[in-house]
Structure 1
């Protein structure tokens, strides 16, 4: 009997390990999104009109996670309701999501100790914040972690950090995470969170011995995604000083001489990952979604939204005035209405919103059921659900207007203000300024700020929580609280010459109609200019190149960009060929250049036929035009054309057709003529080789 019981136990353990588990932290343990988070948790705030929790669930389920535990602290009932009403609650969804309510938890450490006490984790699991947008294949991170643990049981965690590219977002704050890594194994030897203003960071010398090559990385963004062993919750239970995951746990484990545990980093080469840690990153990640940097997680992934020119997404039953203007990188939710001469630029409008005449909304976010009165301006702000803003109002940059707030006519909200429909939460700081309750209430309901007949409260300046002064991954304070807020001096710029420059005059089919539903085609949104289109295509290709996308996915993204901007196929091919040639190194000996050409074309050359429109002769003409425009690329033409031939992108008949095509003929001795002569030499070599093979046969 005992041997049989032991055998069953081993079998159960192996079965548990086959089930990939994840733990979602549905609470941020700070109040940075107040007053928006007074009535709902941050994880249920909409990002591009989809709750943040749904983005996180998509990331996990898309990576093969089968069992998810959602730890809820504040507003647990709303989270449980959202999960029960989601499509993942259906029996055939293939995933089991279990909400666990922990009302007394005040930190990540408290949640991890609760997790340990419940003993529900069977093997290595994914730990992720409930406000993460990610397309990184997390199953690869889990596989890497498990392979490492097979030979090294001391490895208890693999953290996911993303390189900060020149155009990647979100940008890091004033504070700076510093990681000391073993360059070969990616073991994290030391973690330090350097506060703004500190001139230097001290790295322990003993951590640098015994490693052939070290990296000091300050160019990484924390994705708030970790793969943990079952030892991690237990270590939290053993040390009640561990509260924050990075500054307490990771720093504590790496500086302990007694634990003997190791933590590694995974730095993915492809995929997108970012956390909505503050209002600034909320805006930047929204922009990334609208720009399709998060592909395939994009608004038009479902039929509910249609992608139009200039990255404009239109929901169902939307009505636009004939004279309104929609700028690029904007989204209008279902059943919303935009009135005469209203301007929406780089903004997200939630479902059921009403935008009055002559309203200007720029780089802002309106949630469900909000309305903006005539002649009002909203700039780089977030307006929550059911907010009413009276006519002739101005909401300056960096403001947050909480659920149900009613602002009267002529409201003038100063920059970085917080306004709520109910009184702000009170604490001991209220008594520090010496004002009585009536004086405070009079200040918070000032009609000169909130407008006449307003039903709202503007928060006092000192009602900025201390946890709002730091990055989510740390409790370190920064002197400039506004850095992490939407509307800070580093603003998101939007191109001027976009779809926003043209009124929506051609939408209405009947002269008597004031507005029309946008379920059909929209001809009022003018295509973006060629410079913006080329920029977007180049950025898409750069991401594909750096992150190692498949040719098929890169082609899908380019086709989508082409459809959104309504440009001819030739324009897409021009950008693709220009980009491919630019990625070939011009340095080194001729043999090295030829090898670089072959490697690049073998990997990315199939992108040209995958884009569509089979016309190999046109591809050669575009390559000739590009190489003829730059003397530095002239010497690459022959090698690139040969690589096209060797990888079946063009045939010898295509090269012959190009030679005979009048468009390939340039003035004698010009750069284009030199390209043509190189092609003629290649064609003769191919024909000679074919002739030799025939004779051999």
Structure 2
């Protein structure tokens, strides 16, 4: 049964702002959601932020920020749901090393947030997003080998044609690198209208409906072309208008983006909003590196081998306290200069040996990553 919705069909413009950003901050803007899945990594995340867990010796957040800066994003908000002080310390250190000195990275304390809905309500209540017409929403563990800026531009052009277009989901096709758990949790099918800017008619999560039933009434809701796009991957990447956060604020039962999408589609004629999907062309890698510990541990060889176009340079991606330099002993074997390795040691596959490590005679390491001060 549809709930009563107080939103009018008329779509108002962006609210006037005295918030974090001014009229001079033209954008594009990004909100990075960090550490919502930290509990999946207990006890590791009791002392270390989830977004700073090292992937091939590099904090997860670095990969995400490197992608955003390469795309030209200069106004970035990181919502830290745990360990805000440590995330802030990392960001301060990170900003000292980047060449884009006009970049503004703000860390928002969201330690009371337990879901994406809580994050959006907290950002709205604190007026952090005031003055922002549109923003890109990404998870902190995003690994992406394709530019995200064109999707923001596409959403802005769509909004210029249709001010009611409040949300554009950015979805790649399912990758062969996905673990079965990750594929089952995030794979979706989308019934859309490609002739109306890929407008979403219905969204089917695979975990709830692996074989979606499409009813005739859903096909005849529009006189335009209708398409069912299967095996898309919902990473939580979306371009949001300034209406999205207030919708979460007005509906405290929204915990996920799926809750908002379902309710807007159910009450589409009352609310007057439309939502769209932009599909990432097959090829470049785009996925979340750490939805669970197994996926996180198994993903580092793909980073070291630069599979699917990952171009983050390890030598520029060190932890704030680790200023050691690296030697490439092979296409995917990296060793810190201060590491002590016996000549009889064999490094096979994709390996990274951190600073001040000691590996004694006869050791054989296969597809291994060692942090600083490890002894084998």
Paired residue for 1:256, among 259, 267, 280?
267
Q: Are positions 1:341 and 2:327 aligned together?
A: no
Correspondences of 1:247-646 after superposition (within 5 Å): 248-257=259-268, 258-269=270-281, 271-275=284-288, 276-293=290-307, 294-300=309-315, 304-355=325-376
CA distance in 2, matches of 1:251, 1:16: 35
Deviation at 1:227, TM superposition (A): 1.0
| TM-score, normalization by structure 1 | 0.46
Match of 2:192 in 1: 181
| Cα 1:251/1:85, change in 2 over 3 Å | same
- Are 1:111 and 2:131 an aligned pair? no
Distance in 2 (alpha carbons) for counterparts of 1:312 and 1:22: 34
SS of the aligned residue for 2:45 comes to: helix
Structure (1/2) with the larger helix percentage: 1
Alpha-carbon distance in structure 1 between the residues aligned to 2:370 and 2:335: 10
Name the structure 2 match of 1:99: 107
| Aligned match for 2:55, one of 47, 51, 66 | 47
Distance (Å, rounded) in 2 between the aligned partners of 1:16 and 1:204? 48
Contact 1:88 / 1:95 at 8 angstroms: preserved in 2?
Answer: no
How far the C-alpha of 1:291 sits from its partner, in A, is 1.6
Cα drift, residue 322 of structure 1:
1.9
User: Per the alignment, in what secondary structure is the counterpart of residue 354 of structure 1?
Assistant: coil
Q: Which has the higher contact order (CA 8 A, sep 6+)?
A: 2
Q: Relative to 1, partners in 2 of residues 1:316 and 1:213: Cα closer, same or farther, differing over 3 Å?
A: farther
Question: Which blocks of at least 5 consecutive residues in structure 2 are unaligned?
Answer: 1-15, 318-323
Residues 316, 265 of structure 1: alpha-carbon distance in 2 compared, 3 angstrom cutoff: farther
Larger radius of gyration: 1
**TM-score in terms of structure 2 length:** 0.82
Q: Give the strand-richer structure, 1 or 2.
A: 2
Question: Shift of the alpha carbon at 1:30?
Answer: 5.4
Compared CA separation, residues 199 and 242, structure 1 to 2 (3 A): closer
**Contact 2:174–2:183 (Cα < 8 Å) also in 1:** no
- Of 76, 79, 86, the match for 1:68: 76
Note if 1:214 corresponds to 2:214: no
Question: For 2:173, which of 157, 163, 182 is the aligned residue?
Answer: 163
Asked if structure 2 preserves the Cα contact closer than 8 Å seen for 1:25 and 1:128, the reply is yes
CA distance in 2, matches of 1:180, 1:30: 32
Q: CA deviation at 1:251?
A: 2.4
Structure 1, unpaired ranges of 5+:
1-8, 356-697
1:243 match: 255
RMSD: 2.8
Counterpart position of 1:132: 142
